[in-house]
Structure 1
Amino acid sequence: MQLSRRRFLTLSAALFVANPAQAAPLHRARGQALGATVTILLAHPDAPRIAARAMAEIARLERIFSLYDPGSELSRLNAEARLDAPSFELLDCLSLCDRVHAATAGAFDPTIQPLWASYARHFAEGAAPDAGTLEAERRKTGWHRLRFDAAQVRLEPGMALTLNGVAQGFIADRVSELLKAEGLGDILVDTGELRALGGHPEGGDWPVALASGEGLTLRDMALASSAPR
């Protein structure tokens, strides 16, 4: 059983009101991925086709990283403790995780999944796991026990990975680069984490509102946030 993260960000973007003879209207595409709503905002004469391609790419990447899909690469790795011929994207994401793990002196550790799942299961039942259970789950963690190369990803028995701390941002970055390659310079991608290229087509930066009510703007930057539940 997976605990869903409370969505912490809401988008606030005005409709593009420029003369349609001069520029395309703002197009808003929505979908679902990794248990969250996905929104893409862009202005382009061929926006529906471009947005559909972006959504297809998101769906492809979800089949790699999702813990909700039993057929995803990540789910198969967790179930079998090995994955042969991993995709380039999975290896790229694991390499990123390796760098962040080192940069945070081990604080970022995607092998936390067994411990997280134990907490999720017990709190769903209305009680915290006991000390013995927690210690048993902790023994299944440890980034140094993961092995991966172009041929295979390997886990030790009982281990499991979660990429929920990085996959949404990873996908947002990939989709943003895809749209940039289509010639778009002003786009906002929200996969649960935000990536802005350029500014709002109407002018100015992209306005974003936090669930707390605080507002901020984005231009050529990314924003990730979280919440305690």
Structure 2
Amino acid sequence: MSLGRRRFLTVTAAALAAGPALAAPGLQHWQGRALGADLRLSVAGLAPDAARALWRDVARALDGIERRFSLYRRSEVTRLNATGLLARPSRDFAALVALCDRVHDATDGAFDPTVQGVFEAQAGGRDPAAARAAAGWGRLMRRDGGLRLPPGAALTFNGIAQGWAADRIAALMRARGLQDVLIDMGEIAALGRHPEGRDWRAAIAGPAGQRLADITLRDRALATSSPMATRIGPDGLPHILHPDGRAPRWSTVAVSARSAALADALSTAFCLMDRAAIDTALAAFPQARIEAAAI
């Protein structure tokens, strides 16, 4: 498998978090890891002692997010995949499922977290037909507050969870009274301004590292998806999948929105959609917009 999707996004789409931006005076920095990704924060107007206390709060918040959505450790999603049942999903888990409902409906099914079984089959070089037959977000059953998967189905929130994490950390920063923050969770959330008084800058790149666009962000999130950023299985197939097996239409799509989770989910789905379908989906989310798209 080539460079992982989350790490790819951190290296390319998050170019605003590299070089002079991080070297600027007046910023405190943190680096860590969660949801299989390298993570970075840059916070303005914070003394070193206060920063150390804040980083502990960040680590606790990320641990809670991993306990819900990670595929890399025991979590609510791995329990659901293993047993087919999650009798009492947490409030955050239920809220993320509700957002998935909205994006799935708006994208006519292009955003579908039940593709994990298809991913595993293709990554292992196996025929994905059975996994495709079991997939389908509409087959996720909800009863008495619980969730049940049909036999053979499995969920992944890899197309939305890192954006969700960025939103949760942004909420933590606001609750601490911090107004100028750059959050790089693979997806970007930019609060306020850079200490130099300008908006945060972002360079959007494609899977080969080619620069596609330069934008600025203020109180806005950015997500970039490239199907070939990670290739899976012996045939090097794209990692962004649809249950019906349709091929990606775009090499890279970048979306900005006030919510990083929404931008994350839409950028993932849009890779599988033609422009007319994308425009229809965007009408359901007026806060979101395409920042770059490359065939």
TM-score normalised to structure 1 length: 0.86
Runs of 4+ in 1 over 4 A off after TM superposition: none
Return the index of the structure with the highest Cα Rg: 1
Q: Relative to structure 1, is the Cα distance of residues 160 and 2 closer, same or farther in structure 2, using a 3 angstrom cutoff?
A: farther
Q: Relative to structure 1, is the Cα distance of residues 94 and 3 closer, same or farther in structure 2, using a 3 angstrom cutoff?
A: farther
Aligned counterpart, 1:206? 200
**Is 2:42 aligned against 1:34?**
no
Report Cα offsets for 1:41-96 as digits up to 9, x if no partner: 10212222113212220121011100111x11100110000012111111000000
Alignment of structure 1 residues 1-229 onto 2, 5 Å: 4-5=4-5, 6-8=7-9, 9=13, 10=15, 11-12=17-18, 13-17=21-25, 25-43=26-44, 44-45=46-47, 46-69=50-73, 71-122=74-125, 129=126, 133-148=127-142, 151-210=145-204, 211-213=209-211, 214-227=213-226, 228=228, 229=230
Secondary structure of the structure 2 residue equivalent to 1:111: coil
Q: In structure 1, what residue type is equivalent to 2:216? A: T
- Asked whether the 8 Å contact 1:40–1:51 carries over to 2, the reply is no
Cα RMSD for the two superposed structures:
2.0
Structure 1 distance, partners of 2:119, 2:194, is: 38
Q: Relative to structure 1, is the Cα distance of residues 61 and 116 closer, same or farther in structure 2, using a 3 angstrom cutoff?
A: same
- Asked whether the 8 Å contact 2:22–2:42 carries over to 1, the reply is no
Secondary structure of the structure 2 residue equivalent to 1:222: strand
TM-score normalised to structure 2 length: 0.67
- Asked whether the 8 Å contact 1:7–1:36 carries over to 2, the reply is no
Please report how far the alpha carbon of residue 3 of structure 1 lies from its aligned counterpart in structure 2 after TM superposition: 8.6
Structure 2's unaligned 5+ residue stretches are 231-295
Q: Relative to structure 1, is the Cα distance of residues 29 and 107 closer, same or farther in structure 2, using a 3 angstrom cutoff?
A: same
Aligned counterpart, 1:20? none
Please report how far the alpha carbon of residue 149 of structure 1 lies from its aligned counterpart in structure 2 after TM superposition: 5.8
- Asked whether the 8 Å contact 1:27–1:48 carries over to 2, the reply is no
Structure 2 distance, partners of 1:82, 1:55, is: 28
Secondary structure of the structure 1 residue equivalent to 2:174: helix
Please report how far the alpha carbon of residue 97 of structure 1 lies from its aligned counterpart in structure 2 after TM superposition: 0.2
Structure 2 distance, partners of 1:226, 1:112, is: 16
Q: Relative to structure 1, is the Cα distance of residues 2 and 164 closer, same or farther in structure 2, using a 3 angstrom cutoff?
A: farther
Q: In structure 2, what residue type is equivalent to 1:53? A: D
Structure 2 distance, partners of 1:33, 1:221, is: 22
Total equivalences in the alignment: 212
Q: In structure 2, what residue type is equivalent to 1:177? A: A
Secondary structure of the structure 2 residue equivalent to 1:116: helix
Q: In structure 2, what residue type is equivalent to 1:92? A: A
- Asked whether the 8 Å contact 1:194–1:224 carries over to 2, the reply is yes
Indicate the structure whose relative CO is greater, using CA pairs within 8 Å and at least 6 residues apart.
Answer: 1
Please report how far the alpha carbon of residue 147 of structure 1 lies from its aligned counterpart in structure 2 after TM superposition: 2.0
Please report how far the alpha carbon of residue 152 of structure 1 lies from its aligned counterpart in structure 2 after TM superposition: 1.4
Secondary structure of the structure 1 residue equivalent to 2:42: strand
Please report how far the alpha carbon of residue 208 of structure 1 lies from its aligned counterpart in structure 2 after TM superposition: 2.6
Report Cα offsets for 1:156-211 as digits up to 9, x if no partner: 11110010000000110111011101101110111110011111122101123334
Q: In structure 2, what residue type is equivalent to 1:221? A: R
Q: After the TM superposition, which of the residue ranges 74-83 and 198-207 deviates more from structure 2?
A: 198-207
